[in-house]
Structure 1
Amino acid sequence: MKRDFEFTDGFPPSKPREVKGGIRARSRRGAFAQTWWARRWIAVLEGFELGGRLQRARSYARRGQVVSILIEKGRVDAVVQGSRPDPYLVKLEIRTLPAEEWRKLAATLNREARFAAQLLAGEMPADVEEAFRQSGLSLFPTQQSDLRTSCSCPDWSNPCKHIAAVYYLLGEEFDRDPFLIFRLRGLDRDELVLLLARAAATAPAPPERGRPPRRVPDPLPTEASAFWQGSELPADVLGEVEAPPVAAALLARLGTFPFWRGRQPLVEAITPVYHAASARALEVFLGETGR
């Protein structure tokens, strides 16, 4: 028979009070995070060696014991219902990066065009941490002093299971919206976009490779029918045509709903359609299809 009671160090067994409308984790078993950046966030928590508290925290997150979460620059405020009538207040504070450090990072990111393209499309580049390191920064907390946590519960351990439950839910939310990590570090999505645009505008122009040879236009046809019907266009009139580097980029820039609990995110569901449409358009353009 399964016991529905939990033990808190130094306190008698207690059963958390049921919460209606709490934030339930999407993960019902196994790992909480899916993307590499969310896994990195969870790894910080699990690096604290909390032992059995992690299991109880996962249970809290999956039962919906977290009533609310508010994410602001440099801090997270949450309400978690425990075994007592009054819920506990949880606070996480993370060191934000000064404006000068963000400008330095934006210049580093703009050296790689794909970084800006992926970030603007709502994706986290796989090696973005390397760009942070090149700027002498870190995207995630690297030591316990970078992250200060507190809870109004009587448990002396820090982080306690209530803090850890919030941590797990944040990891799931980072899966859906990586820009929340930047917000915690002190920069909103719109501010990051503006910073990248400014860095691109002030970046030194690439060295000139020399002007292409001047192309002399063909003379006008002398026959009236050829003049009015036109002649065949050059093969390279539209330049190089290829699929966009990031699918559904404009849709991703619209952002996402906070703590969305749909079965599948819209961008994730529609991205295969964008890939298929791009491939089909290229086939038609290049004449590789009979239809």
Structure 2
Amino acid sequence: MGWWRYYTPKPAREVKGGIKAQSRRGAFASSWWGQRWIRVLDSFDIGERLNRGRTYARKGQVMDIGIEKGAVRATVQGSRSHPYEVEVRFRPLSRAQWYQIAKALGGRFISLARLLAGEMPEDIEDVFESAKLSLFPHRLRDLETDCSCPDWSNPCKHTAAVFYLLAEEFDRDPFLLFKLRGLAREELFELLGYSPAAAPALPKPDRIGVAEPVPEEPLLEPSAFWGGEELPGDLFGEVPLPEVTAALPKRLGGFPFWRGKAPFLEALEPFYLKAAPLGLDVFLGLTKAPAEEASAPVKPVKQPSKSAKTLKGKSPPTRRQPKKSVPKKKSRRKTRSK
């Protein structure tokens, strides 16, 4: 972890724009696999460092985090001026071991269907155990952790903060658990024989029927769509507002590694509350869309004239140029010859 055996803890420096956990209190994960990850961390008996890492994750002390095959690398701001570099390495599974897992999954159709739908089946650990393997680490030594901080403890609070952010990221994308064990989502589907690229193309349907003539008069004037005119009242029927605000973002889940002060859905919901009724009124032609600021003509900036006054109300001093003396031309007098 570091090169110093003794370390006196100090308060961490505040980070602007750090990655903050979506959970501000209580439980840290919502899915069963995210909660399983938290229980694995608790079983390591890390102690108070795990609690301090939870505080770090909620305060936004993690500045950057990247997930790749078999490893997680992050930058965490501590009490010193320079942030610490954290690395967590998972023990990857071999290709032959993944073949065993794919073979075991092939006979569990319900689990396979849930996995293809983007959910982690609850019996996935039984699948790994049938191949004498484990998806989650059983012991702390199954994870190799490293941090550039001077704390001699392993793992330290900076590494624990990364652990907690991983729990929320597992909620959003359960396939990251497979990626950290050495197999990406696309590779898993190919191993199971469900690769989208390998799927046969659907045959084109035959055209059956007689072409109908286009009516002379259009059913709806195009200007009513582009001009914002009022549409017929019975065209769409009754269009109620959705009962659940921001239903689509709530279904998709939180934003990955959100950096805002408020949780992602709480920050997004007020905009949906304003946009939903306005968009419906614009669609029905009851009101016009607000003009965009970018479409407004830009007024040219007037350049100050030479006689413009300064801030003090006085004209800027000018230097008078000396007048050039123009030599007089000698007049030529005509003389009469005697």
TM-score, normalised via structure 1 length: 0.66
Pairing of 1:50-199 with structure 2 (within 5 A): 50-197=46-193
Distance in 2 between residues matched to 1:21 and 1:198, nearest whole Å: 40
Q: How many residues align?
A: 204
Quickly say closer, same or farther: Cα 1:49–1:256, change in 2 above 3 A.
closer
Letter in 1 for 2:72: V
SS in 2 for 1:76: strand
Please report how far the alpha carbon of residue 143 of structure 1 lies from its aligned counterpart in structure 2 after TM superposition. Answer: 1.9
Question: For 1:196 and 1:92, how far apart are their aligned partners in 2?
Answer: 28
The one-letter amino acid paired with 2:61 is Q
| Structure 2 letter corresponding to 1:35 | S
Q: Is the 8 A contact 2:33 2:170 kept in 1?
A: yes
Amino acid at match of 2:124: V
Determine which structure has more spread, i.e. the larger CA radius of gyration.
Answer: 2
Equivalence map 1:194-233=2 (5 Å)? 194-197=190-193
Inter-CA distance 88–122: structure 2 relative to 1 (3 Å threshold): same
* Structure whose residues are more often helix by fraction: 1
Indicate how the Cα distance of structure 1 residues 186 and 179 shifts in structure 2: closer, same or farther if over 3 A, else same. same
CA distance in 1, matches of 2:194, 2:28: 36
Distance in 1, Cα, partners of 2:30 & 2:194: 32
Q: CA RMSD in A?
A: 2.4
Query: Of residues 250, 257, 260 in structure 2, which corresponds to 1:259?
Result: 257
Partner AA of 1:81 in structure 2? Q
Give per-residue Cα distances to partners, 1:154-178, cap 9 Å, x unaligned: 0000000000000000011001110
Alignment check: 8 A CA contact 1:78 1:89 kept: yes
CA-CA distance at 1:135 after TM superposition? 1.2
Given that 1:122 and 1:255 are in contact with CA atoms closer than 8 Å, whether structure 2 keeps it comes out as: no
Distance 1:17 1:255 in 2: 30
Q: Is the 8 A contact 1:177 1:256 kept in 2?
A: no
Q: Is the 8 A contact 1:74 1:93 kept in 2?
A: yes
Q: CA deviation at 1:10?
A: 4.2
Report how far residue 145 of structure 1 moved.
2.4
Runs of at least 5 residues in structure 2 that lack an aligned partner in the other structure? 196-251, 267-338
Q: 1:255: Cα distance to partner?
A: 11
Cα displacement (A) at 1:258? 3.7
- 8 Å CA contact 1:89, 1:152 repeated in 2: yes
Alignment of 1:29-44 (within 5 A): 29-44=25-40
Q: Judge conservation of contact 1:25–1:169 (CA < 8 Å) in 2.
A: yes
Cα distance, 1:161–1:256 mapped onto 2, change above 3 Å: closer
Question: Shift in Å at residue 43 of structure 1?
Answer: 1.8
Structure 1 position 48, deviation (Å)? 2.0
Secondary structure of 2:264's counterpart equals: coil
Quote the Cα distance in structure 2 between the aligned partners of 1:29 and 1:152.
Answer: 29
Instruction: Measure, in 2, the Cα distance between the counterparts of 1:86 and 1:181.
Output: 30
Letter in 2 for 1:182: F
* TM-score of the aligned structures, taking structure 2 as reference length: 0.57
Which residue does the alignment assign to 2:211? none
Decide whether aligned partners of structure 1 residues 105 and 54 sit closer, same or farther in structure 2, where only a CA change above 3 A counts. Answer: same
Q: Distance in 1 between matches of 2:134 and 2:257?
A: 25
Deviation at 1:52, TM superposition (A): 1.5
Task: Answer whether contact 2:57 2:165 (CA < 8 A) is retained.
Answer: yes
Amino acid at match of 2:164: Y
